Structures are given as structure tokens and as C-alpha cells.
Structure 1
Amino acid sequence: MSAVLARAHCDGADRLVTADEPLAGLQLRCGGELPGTIAIPALFELVRKSRNFGLKLARTIRANDGNEQVTAWIEVDPAENGDCSISILSWQSASLPPEDIAAVAAHRAAIDRTVAELSARLDAGQRLLAVESQAADLTELTAVMRGGIGQPWTDFVSIEGNSHRQPLHWRLLDGAAVRLRGSDRNWRVSLLPQEVPGSEPIGFELCLVAETPLATPEPAPAVPGGDSVMPSNGPGLVGRDIAPVLRQPIARIIANAETIRTRLAGPLAEEYSQYAADIAAAGQHLLSLVEDLADLEVVESEDFNTAPDRIDLADVARRAAGILAVRAQERGITLDAPKHGEHLHAIAEFRRVLQVLLNLVGNAIRYSPDNSQVWIRLEGEGARARVIVADQGPGLSVEQQAKVFEKFERLGRSDESGSGLGLYISRRLARAMSGDLTIDSAPGQGARFILDVPADLLASAPTTAKQDDDQQPGSSQD
């Protein structure tokens, strides 16, 4: 049995907690920290495999730190709690030729792609093309960024210690510390250029890497007149196994199609640019369908519930309008949301109310005529608090109103927009929050979708805006 040259230990989050030399030095020279996430790609992969298989694995790994090429024989022994013991049985190093230094950047890029909790594709001007994230504390930011496709990514983050006009040159932003909306964690920027020899980058991959771990969620606060409730429903087959596997490749299809459509990869005939636009649109539809199916699985589970809290419906409505503002502007549609200073306090789950309002406002934009208006109004009455979304669409008949909340109901539409699940899921969410979602409409007179939830009777009296009598509601049919 070979003598152990050095030992190391990593936890279940792939963080190298302790390490003897020479591994400790290599970890630091590869851009990592001690303790910190394993920064040596080959070792990171070996640890992951050992933990996933639950087996002790031993093999040769190769790594370089920009100056030396290291070849080492490593044994990884996983424990039941996810920790892994690492033993180094041999270690050889040799100086790298100058041309191999570029491999260091590739290794660091591989690490950042692996550990990034938000990824985005950017064009040459650092404008957003596609965004993907599964981090719980980045849900709202991801939705906002997706609603701001075409804007510089720097519009959505706070760059610490930098008040210069953004975006700066990408080399100045690479490695910058940032704060993200909705997250208490510290984050680092990694900008990976798509380069063509002899020219400036034609696009970028943005990776946001957490410098601090995500805190364990605390129990939900007590609801006046009731007990604390935490969602006990976990993801099922779609949400646990299928959706996570599909999201990334679909997002890459969309991003690559957008790169082709916008001719970032080079000149392209107009008809092929249109083909790429069709691919991107179909990819967006497929991604939305995957998300809807995952949500459907959750809301139909027997133990589904929500985490009620004291929220301001006016604030949620303004956020929904802000997220969808760009989409509305593209068609000349005005979103009339509650003004700053308006409040309507309620007992509901912020994230679920935002999800419902994004569906209602998004549908109103989709089915309203160009250059029309969508209203988001507040209404408080006794123990109930309501948000009303109305537009100037074609309206729905009594028969259509009876079907609009049914699963997979698309009211005979033959286009590719919508899955027919949005309103079904939204009503299930509303009822899980002790509320309801209803419709008031007539053909040719638009429609008003009304989200009703319990009012927060312990908060101050609601301040709402009065809806003009001559306003025309619109229809939302997804």
C-alpha cells in the first residue's frame, strides 16, 4: 500500500475544508479559497462521482495552475453525511510551455459554469439574450431579467464600489463583486467571452457565482388567527427529475437561436434569421410548458399548501407590471399599475401572488390590441383584499368563462402561445391561499380577472385607487 503524501477533507457542498500541501497550494493557485469550493476541475469531478456512487474511487487527475502541469494519484472516500476524505498518494509537476497558459482560463471557466447559480447569454453589447437560474433566492431577479431581454445585464445588479456608467468593458466587470435583488448573499461575476481570433468578442456567457452559501429557510411567520404553515409539498417526477434536465438544454437552444437571429455569429440571409426566430419562439414555448407542468404537479399534490405572510398587494402588482413593462411597450400597450403610495395589505404568499399576477398581466398583454391599455386595480372590502386585472380585449362569452379555468383549455386557439395551464394553476394557487380567482366579462367588452385573498386586518386601512367608470376591461385567456 502506497504511503499517503497529503490529506484533505471536503464537505457535502463540494467545499474543500482542509488540505495539506501541495494540494492546498494548487487550490489557491487555481483561483479557489481554503476553505472554499473545489477549484480543481478534475478533483471536483472525482469528488462528485464518488459521492453520487457512494463508492471509494481512486484515479489519476491532471491539473494546471498556469505555470505547472500537475499529475497526481488521488483517492476519494465518501461518508454517509456527504463529506469526503481525500488522500494523495503521488504527485508530479512539470513546467508548462507558454502556449498552455490559455488552458488555465478554460479550467476556471469550467469551474464557474459548474458552480454558477445564475447563467445568462449576452450579445456583444452585454445585452441579455437568455437567462437561467434555479436558485430559490433569485426567483424574482430571474423573472425580472427575462422580462428585460435586450437590456444590459448591469441594469439588474448592484456593482459594489463602482458608480461608473454601465456596462464597462467586460474585462473590468469580470470578477466584480455584486449584490443581487432578493438575495442576502455575496456574488461574483464571471464573464466568459465568445471570441473570434483577431476581433472583439461577439457575445458573452454571464455566470453569477455565490461567495456565501444560501441560508436555511426559517419557519413562516404566524398568520393572524391561525397556525404557521410551511409548504410540505416536494417536487414530483416532472419537477424533480424532468424539468431540471430539460431547462438547461432548452435555454441553450433559445440562446443559440437568438445568437443566430441577431447575426452575432456572422452575416445571414433574412429567411434563415427568421428560421432562427421561429426556433427561439418554439424554445420559449417549450420552456414555458415545462415550467407549467412542474407547477401543475405541485399544485395537484395532496399535501400542497402555501406559506402565508403579511404582504402589500400594491407592491406585488407594481413588481408584476415592472417585470412585464418591456413586453407591453413592444406593442404600445400601457400598463396602469397602482401608484407609489397606494397600499392594500393582505395575508398570502408573496411569490405565489406574484406568479398569479404575472400570468394575468401577461395574458392581458398577449390578447389585447396594440396601443391599448391594461389596468391593475386594488379593492379592499372588509376581510377580503382584491387585485383586478382588466384590459380592452375581445372579452369572453358565458360559455368561454365556464371553461377558461379548466386544465389545458385554450378556447380553440391554434397558435403556439400558452399551454392552457396558466389560469388553472393560478386558480389553484389562489384557493390554496384561502382566496379565489374569478372572471367578469362579455363579448366585445373585455374582461376583468379578480384575485381575491384574505385581508390583513391588523395592518393599517388600505389605500386604493378608484377605477374610472369609462375604463374598458380586457381579456386574458391562458
Structure 2
Amino acid sequence: MRDSDMDERGPLLARARSDAEDHLLSADEPLAGLQRSCGGAVPGVIAVPELLELVTRARRSRSTLAKAINAQDGADTISAWVDVEPQPDGAGCEIVLRSWRTAPLPAEDAYAAFERRATIEREVAELVAWLDAEQRILAVESESAELQDIAAEMQGGIGQPFTQFLAPEKHGTQPLHWRMLDGAQVRVAASDREWRIVLLPQLQPGRDPAGFELLLVSDQPPPVEEPPALAGMVGGRALVGQDLAPVLRQPIARIVANAETIRTRLAGPLPDAYADYAGEIANAGRLLLGLLEDLSDLEVVESAGFSTAPDHIDLAEVARQAAGILGVRAREKNISIEGPGPSERLNAVAEFRRVLQVLINLIGNAIRYSPEHSRIRIQLAQLGERARVVVGDEGPGLSPQQQAIVFEKFERLGRSGDGGSGLGLYISRRLARAMGGELSVDSEEGSGARFFLDLPADPGSEAD
């Protein structure tokens, strides 16, 4: 080793220089290679996040700073010790690399990769449909103006294969394995954008999928809509549901999706701290989306002309679908959901989509407030002219005082920081009553809670 490569602070492995705008003007290897691996160039803006932060601080404070930085080059995780010395003329900094250690990145778990992709795709989906194991439509939701016609057609085709309405361009409508349909391009008559299908299977260990979540996604941004003028937004019009929600939903969803892309490092290597920041942005966006959805639903259920579309449905199947949709969230907390068995049936007269909405809310609440390694049970019962679904958890339970107010509007029982709006149970009870049923609760503090959804039974039907 040459004397020039050593001083009292240790060996010198590489040098680099930056300018007054934190552009990397020159760099020796391996710093130059790391710059390129992180998406940058030489010369170019410093692309290694922790190095950029250190250089910026040193330049602004005009103080020599030294710190261990961490980065990823796509295959390895890297730890390096860096000295940054600002130049006296304020023109930039000299960067000295004094240590360099690499370690291979751990192999990514296939299930984690699937969940990561699913999280991002859900954020930007503009139409969501739930399918059974044979890819037949069970329910459809969309708030996109471009997709209202196709959503209505699919809603009117409950029980038919979804490919009757969204035919893959390269395959037509013939039955195909779901893996061939996942990612397939489709055209929508009322839209000039290109769309693709995302199929998320509800996997069961050792079995074929029990059903699917279908997402319709476009990688092109939606048409820009002018925000509605403030004048005339009230006086009979739904302020949030008709005006604000359609304008805000997609931009917020894009922010969440982009933040998730950063957090999960799909956009390139990133230190943990920056990934955490992106995660906080994504969570804040989800809270805004949830609030928009709740306020939109609130306007709907409180409108004078609100009614549901009753149909003959199987509550056991709706419960299985709701449990499947929330299965991932439950597994994240090591919570098991015991739903109705595949042979169980309980016929009722109600609107499938609204019952699914209520059960998703009840199961979602149970997951949120239950401890890890606990169990949520979904049970069925027929009580004369009533068909009942019971969602029970092993959470902290509710006191008599809490049970008396839990269905009130904006009631959160003193909770804070959980992201809830306090509208879910209020809306769910309004929906239950609009379908001729009721939503109630029975609980004891420390012994969990049981929520009862009662609906009109289908005449002559009996629970298995």
C-alpha cells in the first residue's frame, strides 16, 4: 500500500468529488459502480441516498463529516465508511471511501413477493370483482367513470365467467387457466386507455384456488377531470360521493402505489430509513382513501331515496368470500379465520354486494382489535324467518356502555391512531336495516365480541 493511500484515519480505498449542487463529478471504483447500480451516472446527481444526505449536510454546515453508510447494488447489501470534506470555496466536497463490505441479499420469499405485488396492484385498480373458483362473477365494484358501463354489465351478469365481459385480446372468451389470464390485455369500449387483468387467487395449502380477486388496472393515467366548482355542490347533491371522491380517489391511489413501489424497493436499492418514510406516506394515503370511501357510503345510506337490490343469496358463500378477501391481513397478525365449511349453506334475501361490505367491515374490525395468534369464527344460524351470520373474535371485548354507543356515527370508543373513521359500524347497521335486517353486538370485557347480522331468510330454506 502506498503512503498516499494511508493516513491517521485509515486506508483510502477510493476518492470522489461533488459540486455545489451535489452532483458527483468524478469517482473511483467501487463508488462509481455503486452510483450506477443505484440508477445514477458519473457525472450526475448522487444516487446513493445516505451518501447524498451526508454530502448535503457537510456542504451546508461547511464541516467535515464521517459516517458509515448502507446501500444495495441490486445483488448485495453494502456497508461503507465515508469521509466528506467540504471545499473552502463552497464549490463542493471531497469524498473519501475508507471501508467497503458486501453481503448477499437474502433470497426473497415467493409469498412475500406475491403479497408485495398484490398490495401495489390493489392501490391502482379502478375496478374490482370477486370471482368463484370457476372464475364466475360474484360481485363488482368500480368508481371510475370510464368503467361504469362495464361494471354495470358485469353486475348484471352475476354467475357468468368474467371473460364474457372482459375478453383477453389474445385469447378470446374460451376457458383458460387463471395463470394465462393474469396480466392479459383487454379493451374497454368506453375507454381509450389500455387495460390489463390482475388475478389474485385465494390460495389454500395443497388445493386449487377457492376464488379470485380480479383487478382491472391501466398503466396510463386517467383523464384529468376539472375539480367541481364549490358553488352548487350542495343543495341535494352528494358533496363527497358525486363530486370530490371521483376527483381525489385516483390521484391519492397513485401516490399510495408509488410510495409502495419505493417502500418495497421495486424502484431500486434504498436504505431502511427511506423505505420507512415511503411506508408512512403509503399509510397516510390509505387513511385518506378509507375516509373518502366511508364518507361516500355515509352519503349513500343517509340519502332519502336509498334502497338495496334484494336477491336470493347464500350467506355461507358470502362469508367465505369475505374471509378469503381478508385472509392476507389476518395472516399478517397470525390470526386464523374459521369460516363456514364448503358444504354449508344458508339462504337469505338480501343484496350480495351490501352483505359482503358488512361482513368485510365486521371481519376487518375483528382482525384490527384481536391479539396475535387468536381466532375469528364466522358461524351461521337460521332463526325462524331470520338468517344469521355471527362474527366472533377473541379481542378485548366491549363494556355495556361501549355496546350502547358502538353503532353511533363517528364513534371510535376513545381509540386514536388506528386509522378508523368511526363510520364503519354505523354504515353497516344502516345497510342491514335497509335490507330488512339488523346488526347487533354481544360482548363482555376481556372475552371478545360477537356481532350478529340478521337478514330475511329465503322462504323454505334451512341451514345445513
TM-score, normalising length from structure 2?
0.55
User: After superposition, where does 1:233-382 map in structure 2 within 5 Å?
Assistant: 236-382=238-384
In 1, Cα distance between the equivalents of 2:420 and 2:381?
28
SS at match of 1:289: helix
Of 129, 154, 158, the residue aligned with 2:120 is: 129
User: Unmatched 5+ residue regions in structure 1?
Assistant: 1-121, 144-156, 180-186, 192-204, 210-233, 464-478
- Contact 1:390 1:446 (8 Å CA) reproduced: yes
Deviation, 1:123, is 9.5
Alpha-carbon distance change, 165 to 379 in structure 1, aligned in 2, over 3 angstroms: closer
Alpha-carbon distance change, 177 to 451 in structure 1, aligned in 2, over 3 angstroms: same
Cα deviation 1:152-194 (Å, max 9, x = unaligned): xxxxx996469679479xxxx8764599xxxxxxx98549xxx
Deviation, 1:333, is 0.7
Deviation, 1:452, is 0.6
- Contact 1:130 1:251 (8 Å CA) reproduced: no
Deviation, 1:315, is 0.7
SS at match of 1:129: helix
- Contact 1:126 1:167 (8 Å CA) reproduced: no
Alpha-carbon distance change, 334 to 431 in structure 1, aligned in 2, over 3 angstroms: same
**Paired AA for residue 431 in structure 1:** R
In 1, Cα distance between the equivalents of 2:237 and 2:219?
25
Alpha-carbon distance change, 462 to 416 in structure 1, aligned in 2, over 3 angstroms: closer
In 2, Cα distance between the equivalents of 1:318 and 1:333?
16
Deviation, 1:360, is 0.1
Aligned to 2:406: 404
In 2, Cα distance between the equivalents of 1:124 and 1:398?
39
In 1, Cα distance between the equivalents of 2:324 and 2:238?
32
Aligned to 1:462: 463
In 2, Cα distance between the equivalents of 1:410 and 1:255?
28
**Paired AA for residue 266 in structure 1:** G
Cα deviation 1:218-241 (Å, max 9, x = unaligned): xxxxxxxxxxxxxxxx97221110
Alpha-carbon distance change, 178 to 126 in structure 1, aligned in 2, over 3 angstroms: farther
2:208 is the alignment partner of 1:207 = no
Alpha-carbon distance change, 413 to 158 in structure 1, aligned in 2, over 3 angstroms: farther
- Contact 1:364 1:374 (8 Å CA) reproduced: yes
User: After superposition, where does 1:426-445 map in structure 2 within 5 Å?
Assistant: 426-445=428-447
**Paired AA for residue 462 in structure 2:** A
Alpha-carbon distance change, 449 to 158 in structure 1, aligned in 2, over 3 angstroms: farther
Alpha-carbon distance change, 135 to 162 in structure 1, aligned in 2, over 3 angstroms: closer
In 2, Cα distance between the equivalents of 1:236 and 1:165?
39
Alpha-carbon distance change, 302 to 141 in structure 1, aligned in 2, over 3 angstroms: closer
Deviation, 1:352, is 0.6
Alpha-carbon distance change, 174 to 282 in structure 1, aligned in 2, over 3 angstroms: closer
Aligned to 1:5: none
Cα deviation 1:43-86 (Å, max 9, x = unaligned): xxxxxxxxxxxxxxxxxxxxxxxxxxxxxxxxxxxxxxxxxxxx
Alpha-carbon distance change, 437 to 127 in structure 1, aligned in 2, over 3 angstroms: closer
Alpha-carbon distance change, 162 to 308 in structure 1, aligned in 2, over 3 angstroms: closer
- Contact 1:395 1:447 (8 Å CA) reproduced: yes
Deviation, 1:129, is 0.7
2:416 is the alignment partner of 1:414 = yes
User: After superposition, where does 1:97-246 map in structure 2 within 5 Å?
Assistant: 127-131=118-122, 132-133=124-125, 135=127, 140=139, 160=171, 166=179, 176=185, 189-190=195-196, 206-207=217-218, 236-246=238-248
- Contact 2:336 2:375 (8 Å CA) reproduced: yes
Aligned to 1:27: none
**Paired AA for residue 358 in structure 2:** V
In 1, Cα distance between the equivalents of 2:445 and 2:285?
33
SS at match of 2:377: strand
In 2, Cα distance between the equivalents of 1:264 and 1:388?
41
Deviation, 1:130, is 3.6
- Contact 1:124 1:264 (8 Å CA) reproduced: no
* Aligned length, in residue pairs: 281
Cα deviation 1:124-158 (Å, max 9, x = unaligned): 99655143455597794669xxxxxxxxxxxxx99
Alpha-carbon distance change, 124 to 410 in structure 1, aligned in 2, over 3 angstroms: closer
**Paired AA for residue 454 in structure 2:** D
In 1, Cα distance between the equivalents of 2:116 and 2:449?
40
In 2, Cα distance between the equivalents of 1:126 and 1:158?
23
In 2, Cα distance between the equivalents of 1:174 and 1:400?
47
**Paired AA for residue 247 in structure 1:** R
Cα deviation 1:402-432 (Å, max 9, x = unaligned): 1110111111111132110000000000011
TM-score, normalising length from structure 1?
0.53
Aligned to 1:113: none
Deviation, 1:461, is 2.3
In 2, Cα distance between the equivalents of 1:136 and 1:275?
28
User: After superposition, where does 1:56-135 map in structure 2 within 5 Å?
Assistant: 127-131=118-122, 132-133=124-125, 135=127
- Contact 1:174 1:189 (8 Å CA) reproduced: no
In 2, Cα distance between the equivalents of 1:371 and 1:124?
20
